[in-house]
Amino acid sequence: MDGGLIPFDEAKIHVLTHSLHYGMAPFEGIRCYKGDSGRSAIFRLKDHIRRLFDSAHILEMTIPFSQEELIKACADVVRANHLDECYIRPIAFYGAGEMGVVARSNPVQVAIATWPWGAYLGDDALKGVRLKTSSFVRFHHNSMLPMAKTSANYVNSALAGYEARRNGYDEALLLDVNGYVAEGSGENFFVVRDGVVRTPPLMSILAGITRESVMRILADAGVPIVEQPFPRDVVYIADEAFMTGTAAEVTPVRELDDRKIGEGKPGPITRRVIETFHAALRGRDIRYKEWLHFI
């Protein structure tokens, strides 16, 4: 925290921490996996730290460390916790001092926490999850700036996520202001029909690093992949659908709005993506070696 390693219980902040009140807190979610070689590696660490700096730049926040320093710090925190598999959460925020929305004098603080985190969408997620189209609309890219992964943007995600779970679904699917499919509360979204994979373009969605990894895996496998807006009924009649995210990894989707998608179980392209993605994470596929930051 702020450049030093401190015990978990001492990682505290003041109640007047500016970002707690006003939501300016760019953060990241990263996973570290134990590879087949027995060594642990952080997945796409450099890209996540780059996105953290992109988020801060969008918010006009200056992080008082270099990207190289935070890359090293993430690896240090994992090592210090003796974890060979974990989730890593770097966060930057305006600390306590001046109050008021536009206060700019507060120091930027940076913390990196880590903890073991299992299946994000439940232990049965690999059999396929059930989604509900949300009554909450994914915010317009001129209101909340979806390229910035900042705490405030997650109010939209939390409202959608609570609603879907309260109604017995595993996760929400949010549409954008034009009614096109955007993303889940914490996942990007893909559909497959007749061998072609489609995913929404980078408009009202987070530029997911898992999304980008999956697009590369599909391209390398010769599977056509297009970024294109589509409405919810394209999902109803899809052969397959899946979601991607650091926490959710690649999760098959078996239903949207109580309509079965394809056979209602993970389809062949989804299964292939999951297999290659896991081979990449564990260092089994040398094509994706550059994605691994060994610690």
- Please tell me the distance from the alpha carbon of residue 79 to that of residue 294, in angstroms, as a whole number: 11
Region of 60 please: left (phi>0), alpha (psi -120 to 50) or beta.
left
Q: Which stretch binds ligand PPE (CB under 6 A): 5-13, 78-86, 121-129, 207-215?
A: 207-215
What whole-number distance in Å separates Cα of residue 90 and Cα of residue 193?
37
Choosing from 12, 46, 132, 149, the catalytic residue is 149
Residue 150 binds ligand PPE, judged by CB under 6 A: no
Give the Cα separation of 176 and 204 in Å (integer): 6
Nearer to ligand PPE, 208 or 252 (CB): 208
Q: Is 159 in the site for ligand PPE (CB under 6 A)?
A: no
For position 209 contacting ligand PPE by CB under 6 A, the verdict is yes
Mark whether 149 is an active-site residue: yes
Q: Which of 203, 247, 279, 295 binds ligand PPE (CB under 6 A)?
A: 247
Nearest to 152 by CA among 74, 108, 91, 98: 91
Residue 188 binds ligand PPE, judged by CB under 6 A: yes
Tokens of 120: 């994000």
* Using rule CB under 6 A, residue 262 touches ligand PPE: no
Cβ atoms within 10 Å of 110's Cβ, excluding its own: 20
Establish if 121 lies at the interface with ligand PPE (CB under 6 A): no
Pick the piece of the chain touching ligand PPE (CB under 6 A) from 73-81, 190-198, 203-211, 274-282: 203-211
Listed in order, strand segments (DSSP E) in 14-63 are 30-34, 40-43
Tokens matching residue 132: 């509900």
Which chain residues interact with ligand PPE by CB under 6 A? Answer: 29, 157, 183, 186-188, 206, 208-211, 244-248
Catalytically active residues, by annotation:
149
